[in-house]
Amino acid sequence: MSYANCCQPYHTGNAIPQTAEALMRSRYAAYVLQNIDYIVTTTVPAQQPLLDRQAVTDWAKQTDWAGLEIINHMPKLGKRHASVEFKAFFNTPDGMQAHHELSAFVKVHDNKSGIVRWYFIDPTVSMLVTQKQPCICGSGEKFKRCCGQFL
């Protein structure tokens, strides 16, 4: 698909990815385009202030991206989670390499607007939340029974 018919509407805020896979693809595209705001705003809101924005920027800029391959999309892990296994390829002086990852996503229902959005759960962000506290995604469930399983 062309950019205009795929990830661009997500990047401009005119559409919301309806699946974790669509969100994953649009995040990869945002890395390629160095759209750091999109990387930040599609991470679980509670983690956003803890993201190392400079490190994300540097990584996006310094990487010579070479493609994305979705290996597996598990659209429904329990009530509100999904996972996407993927390989993000990049060129290095020693040839093409792949960053192979299994990412977790959470679906958040905003009670005010009624809008449902998928967010990336960043496993590299350490959070001061105990297993029994309410989850960072705002689901009202205990952290350990919700997103804690994926962190």
Binding site for Zn ion (CB under 5 A): 135, 137, 139, 146-147
Quote the least distance from Cβ 104 to Zn ion, whole Å: 10
Which residue number, 29 or 104, has a Cβ lying nearer to Zn ion? 104
Least distance CB 40 / Zn ion (angstroms): 19
* Least distance (Å) between residue 106 CB and Zn ion: 5
C-beta of 20 vs 146, nearer to Zn ion: 146
Question: CA 1 → CA 4, 5, 25, 95, 96, distances in Å?
Answer: 8, 6, 12, 27, 24
Q: What's phi and psi for 2, nearest 5 deg?
A: -75, 160
- Closest to Zn ion by CB, 92 or 126: 126
In the chain, the N- to C-terminal Cα span, in Å, equals: 33
Q: Tokens standing for 116?
A: 């449902």
Estimate the share of the chain in helix, then strand, then coil, as percent rounded to the nearest 5.
30, 35, 35
Q: Rounded to the nearest 10 degrees, what angle do helices 53-62 and 20-32 cross at?
A: 70
Q: Between residues 60 and 108, which has the closer beta carbon with respect to Zn ion?
A: 108
- CB 13, min distance to Zn ion, A: 24
